[in-house]
Amino acid sequence: MPASLALAAPLSGQTSDRVRIDKFAIARTEVTIGQFRAVARATNLTTAAEREGGGFEHANG
């Protein structure tokens, strides 16, 4: 069953404050920025944010 997530405020251009998530995976442990950077460099990974010229940030932590 797909999950849904309620946002505190709609993202720019959205008409709804709910987002539908069909499938997702979550790791058993967190990944640090340093760990992610090491894997990205070792595998020549280009993220979607890099390909598309930006991404989303959560400013309030």
* Sequence spans of domains, the chain: 3-52
Residue 21's H or E segment, with its range, is: strand 18-21
**Euclidean distance between CA atoms 55 and 41, whole angstroms:** 19
Question: For residue range 11-60, what is the model confidence (pLDDT) as tens digits?
Answer: 666 566 666 778 888 889 999 999 999 999 999 999 888 888 877 776 66
Please tell me the pTM assigned to this model.
0.45
Residues in the chain: 61
Cβ within 8 Å of residue 50, ≥6 positions away = none
Q: What is the dihedral of CA 16, 21, 7, 14, to 10 degrees?
A: -30
pLDDT band at 3 (very low <50, low <70, confident <90, very high): low
